[in-house]
Amino acid sequence: MSPTAPKTRSRPDAAAAFFGDLASRRHEPLLHHATGTVRFDLRDGEAVEHWCLTMVKGDVSVSRRNAKADATIRMDKKLFEGMTRGTVNLTASLLRGLLGVDGDLGLLVVFDRLLPGPRRSRASFLERQEALAG
Amino acid sequence: MSTDVVKILDGNTFVVSDGRGDIEASLSDPTGLFSFDTRFLSKWVLTVNGERLDALSTDDLQYFEARFFLVPGTGTVYVDAELSVIRRRVVANGFHEELVILNHGADPVDLEVRIEAGSDFADLFEVKDALKKKGTYERVVDGECLKLKYRRQTFQRETWIIASSPAAVDEDGLTFTATVKGHGRWSTELEVTTVQAAMEPILRRASVPRQRAKVADSMAKNLASWVDGAPRLECDNDPLKVTYRRSLVDLAALRFVAPILPKHALPAAGLPWFMTMFGRDSIFTSLQALPFTPDLAATTLRALGARQGTRLDDFRDEDPGRILHEVRYGELTAFEERPHSPYYGCADATPLYVVLMDEYERWTGDTRLVRELEYEARAALTWIDEYADLQGNGYISYKRRNEKTGLENQCWKDSWDSISFRDGTLPGFPRATCELQGYAYDAKVRGARLARTVWHDSGLADRLEKEAADLKRRFNRDFWIENGQYFAVALDEEGRQVDTLTSNIGHLLWSGIVDKSKAKAVAAHLMGSRLFSGWGIRTLAEGEGRFNPIGYHVGTVWPFDSSFIAWGLRRYGFKREAAQIAEGILAAAEFFDGRLPEAFGGYPRTMTKYPVQYPTACSPQAWSTGAPLLLLRTMLGLEPMGDHLVVDPVLPESIGRMELLDIPGRWGRIDAFGRGRIDPARADRRSRGSR
């Protein structure tokens, strides 16, 4: 299967944005324990997008290859995009049977650390901080 | 639960049955086969020629294996001793059951042996709270195999039942027909497998791969090497030896392999409700067990570190740096009807994480792990100041953000009425309970030591030391109740002292936050008749508005609590008092055959003569199992000092001579000896100086 090029949409591609941002960081301390490659196979209708995340003690690189990986995770692209926006929880999705996982589950738990929480939770935290300061 | 309940377990798979080996669970009854928080069998009933069986005896000496010796008939009129039935069950990713029927008569007997099976696939939370299911059930006869299925959207759980000998399989069970000749024998083996389709990779990792036929063998070997690896206890006091062995075996039984760390085990919290990773319980138990099985601490640190909070999530009460409270794998968690994926609503596990890391290094010298987890330790220390100070007053306090299914009390006394004023009224939120400040202080002091000696960051060390000193000064001013001469259990949302006298003040001694000048008064309260029952320390003092000797956190004695209080008393030099608590708790353990329950009644020892068990207490429970271990450490006065282990024994007379041999640590292996000289009945209440 050849990687599909991201389609042009009115809405920016959240998966591409997420991995783009991650790649630009080069080093992410939250990943410092992990060494290995995780491949995400994201289903978008008939097509499957591949994203390969390679972690070496916090150093990260991203590619679109359909490469062999230490862990492979299959899911709907929409679900993944929800995770990158903080509206979908990875662990609950896994328990619900929405993810297919092969290989080292530990890497999935490491990846989970990168996902944001709900936007509203962040906003209410900032409000509380302001109230304390004020 | 009735007294003839038989529990066997392996990691987070466990079977609870009646004394015959049968399971007939109602929705609210925690019997059945459970795995990953889901009930996979709620019915499992054996009949022979249409008759239920009667138990002659039950043997569950191994935690993962039980044997039931049965005869047909319910025993009301007479027992037909012509036949006997032996049922042997071993837990492992489901369970394996061997059925043997012996014909003692000279004539052949025709047998119809039937197993009725069924499952409600209840989430453990549903059992606990008696909730209704939302998915659909199916029963499928697939050749020789009976498959019980449950499905809710993409969530699927199945139980497969198959026998080693030919059986007539129907949707409700399996039937065997056989003729057993005189003095003959018939047998079959049943395999019950739990299937969690999407969870397979998790399961494969969580259960050690085993040859089914050798399951019991390999588990027995594993247990033997676990017990052999721990120090050996020699003493005059036989019950203490029983309790020690029971503790080691139960700790082995409660070992839980987190799916994310397949090769390592950490303590789960307790059977039947809490066979999962709990931040607080795993940390406290690891601390208690450090001189005996230090590997538990290493796994606890790694597993909790891997799941440390990284984002703000109000539903899960998650913050960056926060150590989790509880993980669950059942249906309600999957559908986010409960927040345990993981849930982070506890305020003490995070500072305690740093405390455990430092204590672990002091014992083992394993600086590699401390370097490996530097990021997590720093994040935990940051959480104390950045996320836990909800009132901006320099104290950790808690207030749940998940107001529907989150925990109100995020301290170890987590029931709704545990924190109250003397007149019984409940304070508002946020609440800053006192022991949280003690843990925070200790975390800063110990974090400073790690920063200086392992991470080589003297800037951080200086800052933490300064903050710790400041916290101690403020705490001794703001929490001290001058006219009572003890520390308030909490400050409420307006900073008022919540003025009840509680066991929490003992944790303050353990953490070291108490000014030396106040320690004597605190120790006197702990050992006074309002808190000390003769067995251990009551959670809430007699005479307080909500005191109830069988109230969960408002008057019962928790062995774990008492063990840390004894450690605290030792820390401030009250050696005799520590020995007195050790004597009480270990004497109580004798009444439970060496297995201390989660809690027991706070009645005076002189009144009941035996400890009254709390009605729904978990047993075995990890931190109760750990309590005798910590008390041994406390009595022997074991304290790592650089590369040496200091031994300074002060033992109650009843213990007699005691030797703890081959204590592992950075010194290799060391022996400790002690002789009982303290008579608790004539214990000297005066302070014995301080450290």
**Quick one: what percent of chain B has pLDDT higher than 70?**
92
Determine the longest span between alpha carbons in chain B, in angstroms. Answer: 87
* Whole-number Å distance between alpha carbons of B569 and B2: 38
Span B118-126, mean pLDDT?
Answer: 91
Q: Which residues in chain A are contacts of B375 at CB distance < 8 A?
A: 29-30, 32
Chain B interface includes A86 (CB < 8 A): yes
* Whole-number Å distance between alpha carbons of B2 and B332: 28
Please identify which residue in the block is written with the tokens 């916290």.
B471
Residue B592: closest CA among B619, B565, B616 = B619
Q: How many CB atoms lie within 10 A of CB A74?
A: 15
Determine the longest span between alpha carbons in chain A, in angstroms. Answer: 57
Joined tokens for residue B386:
């950045």
- Between strands B644-646 and B53-62, the pairing is unpaired
Please identify which residue in the block is written with the tokens 């679109």.
A64
User: For B274, which DSSP code?
Assistant: B
Contact B314 A128 (CB under 8 A): no
Q: How many CB pairs under 8 A join A and B?
A: 90
Chain B interface includes A120 (CB < 8 A): yes
Question: Phi and psi for B183 in degrees, rounded to 5?
Answer: 55, 25
Which range is least confidently modeled, B143-157, B262-276, B296-310, B647-661?
A: B262-276
Which range is least confidently modeled, B70-74, B75-79, B351-355?
A: B75-79
Contact B155 A96 (CB under 8 A): yes
pLDDT at B214: 58
pLDDT at B309 over 50: yes
* Whole-number Å distance between alpha carbons of B195 and B158: 5
Residue B261: closest CA among A59, A102, A110 = A110
pLDDT at B3: 44
Chain B interface includes A94 (CB < 8 A): yes
**What's the pTM value of the predicted model, to 2 decimals?**
0.93
B614-624 burial, b at 16+ Cβ within 10 Å, e below that, comes to beebbbbbbbb
pLDDT at B511: 98
Q: pLDDT tens digit string along B533-551?
A: 999 999 999 999 999 999 9
Residue B673: closest CA among B216, B55, B231, B90 = B231
pLDDT at B92: 80
Span B317-330, mean pLDDT?
Answer: 96
Report, in this order, helix, strand and coil percent for chain B, each rounded to 5. Answer: 35, 25, 40
Q: pLDDT tens digit string along B161-171?
A: 999 999 999 99
pLDDT at B500: 98
pLDDT at B654 over 50: yes
Contact A132 B391 (CB under 8 A): yes
pLDDT band at residue B4, thresholds of 50, 70 and 90? Answer: low
Contact A106 B375 (CB under 8 A): no
Chain A interface includes B375 (CB < 8 A): yes
DSSP string, B217-269: HHHHHHHHHHHHHSPEEEES-HHHHHHHHHHHHHHHHTEE--TTSTT--EE--
pLDDT at B688: 39
Q: Which residues pair with B113 in a beta bridge?
A: B48, B176
pLDDT band at residue B204, thresholds of 50, 70 and 90? Answer: very low
pLDDT band at residue B210, thresholds of 50, 70 and 90? Answer: very low
Contact A118 B335 (CB under 8 A): no
Span B10-33, mean pLDDT?
Answer: 87
Q: pLDDT tens digit string along B458-485?
A: 999 999 999 999 999 999 999 999 999 9
pLDDT band at residue B207, thresholds of 50, 70 and 90? Answer: very low
**Which residues have C-beta within 8 Å of that of residue B129, sequence separation ≥ 6?**
none
Span B397-410, mean pLDDT?
Answer: 96
pLDDT band at residue B496, thresholds of 50, 70 and 90? Answer: very high
* Whole-number Å distance between alpha carbons of B410 and B429: 11
pLDDT band at residue B256, thresholds of 50, 70 and 90? Answer: confident
Contact B260 A106 (CB under 8 A): yes
Q: pLDDT tens digit string along A54-94?
A: 999 999 999 998 889 999 999 999 999 999 999 999 999 99
B576-593 burial, b at 16+ Cβ within 10 Å, e below that, comes to bbbbbbbbbbbbbbbbbe
